Amino acid sequence: MNFYFVFEGKTEAIIYKKWLSFLLPHLTEVDSFDAVSQNNYYYESDMGVPDCYRVAANAIQEINEVPKYDYLVLFTDADRLTVSDKKTEALEKIKLNLQNQPFQTLPENCQLQVIIQKVCIETWFLGNRNFFVRNPQHNETLKAYIKYFDVSQNNPEDLASEFEEDTKNSKEIFGYKTKALFHEGYLREIFKERNLSYRKSRPREVQEKFYFDQLLARIKINSDHLHSFQEFIDFCARINIQENQ
């Protein structure tokens, strides 16, 4: 199978490439969309929203030119939307960007898959219980975050669920104007307590297998947690089944 990935952000490209090496190790990357042969993937990344929808629409044109792909996969954050609403938005915006394009749909042999990170990919990273610091000794900010919402016990996807953002970002939670920024900030404080740092451009620990395995352990123990992460895991499981049939 061949895959065309569109990653909304910079961090996603780093993380998913590493995670795919665990989940679908037979896949190898190619440098251009027309270089795929067998068990390859090509990707575009770091264009943000709404540009990721335009890039996905362009990918549909390229896949029609080189009809060797089995899946076009868009990875994007839900941000303030629900997963369902974000998927609807993505499909609608891709369709809008297909207007006046030569190809309006994917070839019959290729499917579109939208993977949503609720709220953002850092939300998933908060699911590692082993990395979580239960009793911070030096970080009053982290103590306040844990008192407000303990992500080791509660579903990280529900963190700040009551916070309603507006289009002008006039509201704040713990000084952050969006839930996504707060989730990332929470993660940074956990890293800080461990005398480490988290950077979106260099997400060191979170891409490693020991970290990833703890996220798998989390959803195995708590099947009602990290549903959007589970969708990604289930997608990879389906691919493995299809390839072994």
Predicted TM-score (pTM) of the model is 0.96
DSSP sequence for 105-129: S--TT-EEEEEEESS-HHHHHTT-T
Same domain, 74 and 108: yes
Q: Is residue 10 part of a domain?
A: yes
Q: Looking at residues 77-84, what average pLDDT do you find? A: 96
Instruction: Give the span between the Cα atoms of 83 and 76, in whole angstroms.
Output: 10
Domain containing 153 equals 123-221
Residue 168's pLDDT is 82
Instruction: Give the largest Cα separation in the chain, rounded.
Output: 60
d(CA 143, CA 84): 33
Question: Which run of H or E residues covers position 5?
Answer: strand 3-7
Average of pLDDT values for 68-76? 98
| pLDDT one-digit tens code per residue, 181-222 | 999 999 999 999 999 999 999 999 999 999 999 999 999 999
The answer on pLDDT for 244 being more than 90 is: no
Residue 227 covered by a domain? no
Instruction: Let me know whether 107 and 176 are in one domain.
Output: no
Residue 167 has pLDDT above 90, yes or no: no
Q: What is the mean pLDDT of the chain?
A: 96
Distance CA 109, CA 89 (A): 24
Q: Could you tell me if 111 and 132 lie in one domain?
A: no
Residue 238 lies in a domain: no
Query: Is pLDDT of 245 > 80?
Result: no
Is residue 89 domain-shared with residue 192, that is, in the same domain?
no
Residue 139 lies in a domain: yes
How does DSSP classify residue 166?
Answer: -
